[in-house]
Amino acid sequence: MPDTISGINTKSTKTLFFVVALIVTVISTLIAVICNINVYLGFGFLLTAAVLIILILFRPDMLEIHFFLLPFVFVVAPAFSGISVIAVTMMWLIGLFMITFIQFCSEGWTGAKVKTHYSLPLILYALLVILSVIASGNISSASMSSLTQCIALIFIYWMLTQALSHQNLQRLLITLILGAILCSVIYLYSMRGILSMAGLLISSLRPAVKGFNANSWALYPMMGIPLLLVLIQYNKKKTHLLWMIPTLVLLLSTALLNMSRSALLAILVSVLFLMLTHHVSRRILLWSGIAVAVLLILYLPSVLLFSEPIIRPESGLAGREELWYIASQMIAENPILGTGPGGFTSRFFFLSAFTEGGISKIANQIGFHNSLFQIGVDLGILGPLLLLSMYCLFLRRSAILWRRLRNTSAFPVLAAICALMLAGFVRSIFEVDFAIPHGYLFENLIFITLLGIQDQLSAQYLTDS
């Protein structure tokens, strides 16, 4: 299968792309100015412009750089400089669309296009969002964000799937590990005032770095660890272990320090999946054991502090069961089109069991901590059914590919995307930041990237695609 496309070497084409990168930067800056962004926005936008120019001029085949390095702006810019997430999202979508579209046209791709198996449920989901917004009359920032992102994801998914035919899929996944490394470094560095330099003793459990939601940081080790274990399993070069094992320790450190139980459970389930589906799991067991042993020694003074908030019996589901009960009642009352995206927050929040005298007892409790319940409340019963249909289709096609690719060089890619999708599904039982097509753009892009990679594998190895 083709790994990469050749670089674009003509001077005129490079000049064109350079101009396009500058236009993207100017448009993004104008958006930032219009939105009254913090004066420190220069960091995020200059970083974006630099990556765009480097990507377009020198490595137009490395589309994954845009997908897995630019999203750092989503985390770094809002957390450290106060830049509006809406402005960053608009900038990122404009840049992504222009890069993929220009690359698509300039390469003169010919022949049959790759079949996209998930376009129909994504289109139906977008139509359902439109109907729900109209029926609810809830024209808010949440509903408009949902509508915009749902429509954008349809086009991005199709273009991404076609573009992946010119990519090295294993390199794409390695870049995601790089993303997890960088975000983990940022997270741990930001906690330097919270952790002691000697023993990394914790004085504040699950801190929100720079006010950014602590749960969001847990996504990166949750995605990076399963991919890293696949590399350890299939990589034959022992020298690569020199960076893989420290990386595993780093990602596990971030996961433990973050204290997100849903992320830890997702990591555990994905690792068990890899062990149960591979005949030779000794390498995974061995190196995972070494990493855990290093962590236990490193964090020995804080072991009790780690375990107490994770396993204490009284913590339960942290109130999620009450939220799920409320969600089921709301779905029963609005089964057809739901309350509209964001309807729970704007119309029903202060009627929940989490209020006392009209005052919220839980800060920032604006969701149901379950993707299916959240979609059901927003869009009615058809919403979760569409999401489940995508999961089921992914499972069915992965089972077929599993048999076909078992002894091929593409099998590690399949094992990696299956482990990652499973981790995301487990987390979606307790959170709403994976595979819910609005509100969490970066995680949605990870989701559709997995779908696109599977479409590529189907096109290359299955005769029915």
Is 397's pLDDT higher than 70?
Answer: yes
Q: What is the pLDDT of residues 214-250, one digit of tens each?
A: 677 788 888 888 888 888 888 777 777 788 888 888 8
Q: Tokens 């054991």 label which residue?
A: 289
pTM of the model: 0.76
Residue 190 binned pLDDT confidence (cut-offs 50, 70, 90):
low
3-state SS, residue 360 = strand
Exposed, middle or buried: residue 322 (CB in 10 Å: 0-12, 13-18, 19+)?
middle
Angle between helix axes 141-163 and 441-461 (nearest 10 degrees) is 30
Q: Tokens 């089109």 label which residue?
A: 337
What pLDDT, on the 0 to 100 scale, is given for residue 197?
Answer: 34
Q: Tokens 């799920």 label which residue?
A: 324
Residue 127 binned pLDDT confidence (cut-offs 50, 70, 90):
very high
Task: List, as one string, the DSSP characters of 318-356.
Answer: TTHHHHHHHHHHHHHHSTTTTT-TTHIIIIIGGGSTTEE
What pLDDT, on the 0 to 100 scale, is given for residue 101?
Answer: 62
- The residue among 39, 47, 23 whose CA lies nearest residue 83 is 39
Q: What is the CA radius of gyration of the chain?
A: 22
Q: Which two tokens stand for residue 209?
A: 């770095």
What is the residue extent of each domain of the chain?
A: 1-111, 163-317+372-461
**Among residues of the chain, what percentage have pLDDT more than 70?**
52
Cβ atoms within 10 Å, residue 198: 7
Q: Which phi and psi angles does 277 have, rounded to 5°?
A: -100, 5
Q: Which residues pair with 356 in a beta bridge?
A: 359
Residue 314 binned pLDDT confidence (cut-offs 50, 70, 90):
very low
Residue 381 binned pLDDT confidence (cut-offs 50, 70, 90):
very high
Contact 178, 65 (CB under 8 A): no
- The residue among 125, 117, 162 whose CA lies nearest residue 146 is 125
Beta strands in 103-229 (DSSP E): none
Beta strands in 138-254 (DSSP E): none
Please name the residue ranges forming H helices in 301-440.
Answer: 303-311, 320-333, 343, 371-379, 382-404, 411-428
Q: What is the pLDDT of residues 68-120, one digit of tens each?
A: 555 555 555 555 545 555 555 555 555 556 655 665 665 555 555 788 899 99
